[in-house]
């Protein structure tokens, strides 16, 4: 594997990025992006040096559906965290991905992120593997609605909660919630579905929940149709992303990885770049700026 880490190994500082340039130059490349792509937008990752999994266990699907207290805790924390997610802007990495897509070098984008930043950068057809925080789904009637609409309802139900200083606890997690003391969460009022009174859940795949089968099949089809796979900002720790890397390698497609830190897919990669994604992706887009 050709690697560029800025430390002088793996063929020098140009070797890894040059290999990624060659891979992209051939066009028809699929992207798989993860939380590391959004850290420069102020959204933390799960497993980096300051990742949230070092501090807490995220909400699981089983806890959310099985416990009203669990749902109250999630929605109270998410009510505060949503303000930061909603204000987040795409960073240089997201814009570089869109530039590479427009120039014909990227054929498709699959993202493990739920922050909507690929869409905000113009990559409207990016497949959100784990769903999106900007949508809410009823577990009863399956009606979907906007998170903005729900936010207004939660504001109306919890005016005293806002006045209680919840905004003073800003530590955001990648799934859009923040860390709040239990004493503050206890009085939070949650909203039910306006259509049927059912349980509302963010339209995202929680830990312990399966990605919808048709979405997985769509992503496999995108990888299958591509000539190569480029992984951006994912440790590939969970199988939901790693399976696409393994599939690409098994079917003879070259894999390249841009990520700060080791990944479970490193053994499958022909090239690896270990530097901040915004700068690296901008350089890649600049080198390949001429339309195909």
Identified catalytic residue from 79, 94, 105, 130: 130
C-alpha neighbours within 13 Å on the C-beta side of residue 174: 30
Q: Specify binding-site residues for NAD(+).
A: 34-54, 112-115, 233-235, 259-261, 277
Q: Which two tokens stand for residue 79?
A: 């009510």
130 is catalytic: yes
Q: Specify binding-site residues.
A: 34-54, 112-115, 138, 141, 193, 196, 233-235, 259-261, 277
DSSP H or E run through 209: none
Q: Specify binding-site residues for Zn(2+).
A: 138, 141, 193, 196
Q: Is 124 exposed, middle or buried (0-12, 13-18, 19+ CB in 10 A)?
A: exposed
DSSP 60: B
Cα separation, 268 vs 67, whole angstroms: 41
Q: Are residues 58 and 145 in contact, defined by beta-carbon separation less than 8 angstroms?
A: no
Q: In the chain, how long is the greatest CA-to-CA distance?
A: 61
Which stretches within 164-276 are classed as H helix? 182-185, 213-225, 239-250
Q: Which residues are the active-site residues?
A: 130
């Amino acid at each position: 594997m050709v690697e560029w880490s800025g430390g002088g190994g793996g063929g020098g500082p140009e070797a890894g990025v040059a290999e990624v340039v060659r891979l992209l130059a051939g066009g028809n490349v699929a992207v798989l992006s993860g939380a590391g792509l959004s850290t420069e937008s102020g959204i933390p990752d799960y497993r980096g040096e300051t990742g949230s999994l070092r501090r807490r266990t995220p909400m699981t699907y089983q806890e959310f559906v099985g416990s009203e207290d669990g749902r109250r805790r999630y929605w109270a924390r998410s009510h505060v965290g949503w303000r930061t997610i909603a204000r987040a802007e795409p960073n240089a990495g997201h814009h570089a991905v869109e530039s590479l897509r427009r120039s014909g070098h990227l054929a498709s984008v699959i993202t493990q992120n739920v922050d909507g930043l690929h869409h905000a950068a113009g990559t409207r057809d990016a497949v959100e593997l784990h769903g999106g925080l900007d949508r809410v789904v009823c577990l009863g009637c399956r009606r979907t609605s906007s998170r903005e609409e729900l936010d207004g309802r939660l504001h109306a139900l919890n005016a005293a909660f806002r006045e209680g200083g919840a905004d003073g606890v800003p530590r955001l997690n990648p799934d859009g919630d923040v860390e709040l003391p239990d004493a503050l969460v206890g009085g939070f009022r949650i909203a039910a579905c306006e259509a049927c009174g059912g349980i509302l859940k963010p339209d995202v795949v929680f830990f312990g929940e399966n990605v919808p089968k048709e979405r997985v099949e769509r992503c496999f089809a995108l990888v299958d149709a591509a000539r190569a796979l480029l992984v951006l900002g994912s440790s590939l720790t969970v199988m939901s992303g790693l399976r696409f890397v393994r599939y690409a390698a098994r079917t003879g497609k070259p894999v390249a990885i841009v990520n700060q830190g080791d990944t479970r897919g490193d053994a499958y990669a022909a090239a690896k770049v270990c530097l901040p994604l915004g700068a690296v992706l901008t350089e890649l887009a600049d080198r390949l700026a001429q339309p195909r």
